[in-house]
Structure 1
Amino acid sequence: MSFEGETRSDLTIAYIGGGSRGWAWGLMSDLAMEPALGGTVRLYDINRDAAEQNAVIGNRLSEREDVQGKWRYETSGTLQEALSGADFVIISILPGTFWEMASDVHLPEEYGIYQAVGDTVGPGGLVRALRTIPLYVEIAEALRDYAPDAWVINYTNPMTLCTRTLYETFPGVKAIGCCHEVFGTQHLLAQMVERKLGAGPVSRHDIRVNVLGINHFTWIDSASYKGIDLLPLYREFAEEHHAEGFEGAKKGHWLNDHFASAQRVKLDLFLKFGVIAAAGDRHLAEFMPGDKYLKNPETVREWKFSLTTVEWRENNRQSLLEKGSRLAAGEEPFIVKTTGEEGIDMIKSLLGMGDLVTNVNLPNRGQMEGLPLGAVVETNAVFRRGEVRPVFAGKLPDAVHDRVARHVWNQELTLKAALAKDATLALQAFESDPLVRIPHDKAEELFRRMLKNTSDYLPGWRI
């Protein structure tokens, strides 16, 4: 991929959720490394102090001589102020607080339902969606009114329903849902190629894949390296490592890293279905029946991945708060390094600085066979000047397609329930989720309790 052409130093990026201590710092780092782009980043956040701190950090970074991309960071007090005249909009927000997240993730455990992440599907993913959708309706309306021509890059989960809400509310929006989970599977395939074929070093960019499915339940039915079909090789690899898992040079790393795994779920799914599951094990497990990979903590441990607790997230947040204070005060240097995300490459492609093919979440316009039109799906797409065009991906094998379709219909029902503020519809979606394998009365009791715990974000609902 080559990015050749004019530079742009007059861009305006609006960052909704600009007080972030993860994605925002990553964006600053990627922008700092890109000499072809510059301009203004407007940081908007309901926590204005956090956004102002990030503005200090970003401006301090841009003053450094070793930084190639020069940007001015400023805060905005309203969505209108942030969005007006923006060329690009990035959305990365936390819908609610850790208190609501604790209810999402841990209250179902009282009913024997375990979730590794709780932000996409399962009881936690659904309730998170119910409080996120109203926020995205507001964002979509603001985009329509103040930045109708801007390109929008969404990183917030639940990815599918966030992106879907933008298009449902403002059909003319130019929004893309971006997720790096497929990249991890390309890295795994690259490691496999190095070991099985003696090649190397192999980059994930050397692995060509056809992507199809929905976010966090994404699949690869075609993979190649320099023209070599990798599926037969992956079958050998899966059979070799299925029992113990594959960890490369980081053996046992999953025991200490909530985001790591030994890939056992991924390998198991391939041996069952014959296509490559292309997300992290924590996410993949949540889309399958709860008695398989998430039966209890002991089962999770056997499959060699982790349940990410909200307590860990709270502790991590505290360490990031302390780091933010040090960065803003100049007491700690900002380490500039690539994040591996492709947001900057997408921006450059849309500006005409080279074409890009990568996986994104977009409404189905026929790129996924057998799934409803308009539902958000994840496939490859071609980015070029002023357009994003989905690549026709085909259809998954029936056994996988049926599982994906079930979640698609559940997501559509969740959206309908959220927009109508209808708890009866939401309960139907709740009970249809494969993780909710408990009697109706217990499912309804759990649902009502979770809904009550997030009621501050559900104005107008009868709970």
Structure 2
Amino acid sequence: MKFSNDKVSDIQIAYIGGGSMYWAKNLIADLALDHQLSGTIRLYDLDFEKARKNEKLGNSVSDYPETKSKWTYKAYPTLQEALSGSDFVFISILPGTFQEMDSDVHEPEKYGIYQAVGDTIGPGGLVRALRTIPMYVEIAQAIEKFSPDAWVFNYTNPMTLCTQTLFEVFPKIKALGCCHEVFGTQGVLIRMLRDLKGIEDVHRDQVKVNVLGINHFTWIDQATYQNMDLIPLYRQFVDKYFESGFENNKDAWVTNPYTSANRVKFDLFRRYGVIAAAGDRHLAEFMPPWYLKDPDTVRSWKFGLTTVQSRIEKHAATKLFYEKLISGEEKLPLKPSGEEEVRQLKGLIGLHEFVTNVNVPNVGQMKGIPLGAVVETNAVFSANSLRPVYAGELPVEVNNLVLRHVLNQETTLKAAINKDKSLAFKAFVNDPLVNIDVIQAEELFETMLQNTKSYLPGWNT
């Protein structure tokens, strides 16, 4: 990297999963809109031709009049070439096809187990983890060999287990897991201030929150705006909207399977007194089947089950738009994605210091959770430094909910690395959503493993 006044050039970023049609567009736009950074994005993907397409798209943005920086995009055929000489590594991969995802999400429904997302925990999240962890073992080994000093940003789900695998394989890795779910809850608090206090134009940075938990099961026990304690106000907000729910667009959840009316979030606050800081679709999966008992129960809580068919349809629409971008028929809209990768880059480079939530190993910032387990808390970004902020401890009844999943995820990681089918089943049957007879659980587990066996080399399936 080269420094000149308040600008940094020649930054080398390896992007694993660089053939993406989704996150890549956000990254290209976010980088183009920042005037302080420039360099090279080194794209690597198992499908080299997809990486070549993003090379073309990324480089085309340099000619847009609104572009503020100069980035060169280059596809590399091997992971070694992409990683060698990189300052940063982004990992955003899709572990499997829609066929495996269909099994993750819908096979359990035959046994009365419903999942709103199926990519983090529950039977679908666990099996997805089993096929993702071997990929992350290879990635961690390659990073240790070819770019051991790079900062590594993980965006793949299951976030906790992917990040944990990186540290398990390469303990000295400088890695973090990045997720925007907490940002969404800060957005709810901003809309609360407008609704109850008439306060307009609040920026997310002005809503200070203390974050504790694990990815997609995060909690906020302190929230302030200009020294105003937001917890009592949130209690009023929950009471006002508990039955109706609260959305940007009324009843959007009815037709959009990726949104909700926040009723699960409100119910958890009423039960535990701390703010659940993820989307309802994720939060519901960490609990017993209170909210996911059946489709009618899901509808009563005003969120949707994200079917694989809806994902296929979304993928087809995205692919159509993406091909228009590649052909030049359409231009990539340059607007901020809402992600924080550029701010985090600038923090680690040393251009500024700031605090945000990330997923990193517990070194004592969160009490009540084993040391070394990956947790989601705030951390300070500064020059080549990431320092977790002391978050404290959740109420014991909430910590017990979180701890169960922490231990189950550690069991899953151990099972995946050792290819231990028996241990994997113990984690599977211990998930609160797998609320069925143990014989049925064995049948479901066997079927789901068979459906993903091509991603489980060396397993006795």
User: Matched residues in 1 for 2:134 and 2:425: separation?
Assistant: 18
Q: Do the aligned partners of 1:189 and 1:204 also contact (CA within 8 Å) in 2? A: no
User: Which position in structure 2 is the counterpart of 1:308?
Assistant: 306
User: Matched residues in 2 for 1:258 and 1:388: separation?
Assistant: 35
Q: Give the secondary-structure state (helix, strand or coil) at the position aligned to 1:325.
A: helix
Q: Deviations over 1:152-180 (max 9, x none)?
A: 11100000000000000000110010000
User: Matched residues in 1 for 2:30 and 2:273: separation?
Assistant: 37
User: Which position in structure 2 is the counterpart of 1:281?
Assistant: 280
Tell me, yes or no, if structure 1 residue 348 matches structure 2 residue 362. Answer: no
Tell me, yes or no, if structure 1 residue 389 matches structure 2 residue 387. Answer: yes
Tell me, yes or no, if structure 1 residue 90 matches structure 2 residue 121. Answer: no
> Mapping of 1:299-378 within 5 angstroms?
299-378=297-376
Deviation at 1:242, TM superposition (A): 0.8
User: Matched residues in 1 for 2:438 and 2:299: separation?
Assistant: 29
User: Which position in structure 2 is the counterpart of 1:216?
Assistant: 216
Deviation at 1:57, TM superposition (A): 0.6
User: Matched residues in 1 for 2:117 and 2:49: separation?
Assistant: 28
Q: TM-score, normalised by structure 2?
A: 0.98
**Equivalent AA in structure 1 for residue 255 of structure 2:** N
User: Which position in structure 1 is the counterpart of 2:256?
Assistant: 257
**Equivalent AA in structure 2 for residue 67 of structure 1:** T
Q: Give the secondary-structure state (helix, strand or coil) at the position aligned to 1:389.
A: strand
Moved more, 196-205 or 377-386: 196-205
User: Which position in structure 2 is the counterpart of 1:76?
Assistant: 76
Deviation at 1:66, TM superposition (A): 2.1
User: Matched residues in 1 for 2:6 and 2:300: separation?
Assistant: 53
Q: Do the aligned partners of 1:44 and 1:82 also contact (CA within 8 Å) in 2? A: yes
User: Matched residues in 1 for 2:206 and 2:252: separation?
Assistant: 26
User: Matched residues in 1 for 2:318 and 2:74: separation?
Assistant: 21
Deviation at 1:370, TM superposition (A): 1.1
Identity fraction in percent: 59
Tell me, yes or no, if structure 1 residue 124 matches structure 2 residue 124. Answer: yes
Deviation at 1:445, TM superposition (A): 0.5
User: Which position in structure 2 is the counterpart of 1:271?
Assistant: 270
**Equivalent AA in structure 2 for residue 255 of structure 1:** V
User: Which position in structure 2 is the counterpart of 1:142?
Assistant: 142
Q: Give the secondary-structure state (helix, strand or coil) at the position aligned to 2:387.
A: strand
User: Matched residues in 2 for 1:258 and 1:70: separation?
Assistant: 37
Structure 1, gaps ≥5 residues long: none
User: Which position in structure 2 is the counterpart of 1:443?
Assistant: 441
Q: Deviations over 1:421-456 (max 9, x none)?
A: 000000000000000000010001000100111100
Q: Give the secondary-structure state (helix, strand or coil) at the position aligned to 2:302.
A: coil
Q: Give the secondary-structure state (helix, strand or coil) at the position aligned to 2:260.
A: coil
Q: Give the secondary-structure state (helix, strand or coil) at the position aligned to 2:49.
A: helix
User: Matched residues in 2 for 1:322 and 1:194: separation?
Assistant: 38
User: Matched residues in 2 for 1:104 and 1:369: separation?
Assistant: 33
Q: Deviations over 1:103-129 (max 9, x none)?
A: 000000000000000000000000000
Q: Deviations over 1:212-262 (max 9, x none)?
A: 0000000000000100101011111111111111124x1011112121111
User: Matched residues in 2 for 1:94 and 1:69: separation?
Assistant: 29
Structure 2, gaps ≥5 residues long: none
Tell me, yes or no, if structure 1 residue 57 matches structure 2 residue 62. Answer: no
Moved more, 350-359 or 238-247: 238-247
**Equivalent AA in structure 1 for residue 235 of structure 2:** R
Deviation at 1:5, TM superposition (A): 5.2
Moved more, 68-77 or 270-279: 68-77
User: Matched residues in 1 for 2:218 and 2:456: separation?
Assistant: 30
User: Which position in structure 2 is the counterpart of 1:454?
Assistant: 452
Q: Do the aligned partners of 1:5 and 1:353 also contact (CA within 8 Å) in 2? A: no
Q: Give the secondary-structure state (helix, strand or coil) at the position aligned to 2:234.
A: helix
Q: Give the secondary-structure state (helix, strand or coil) at the position aligned to 1:209.
A: strand
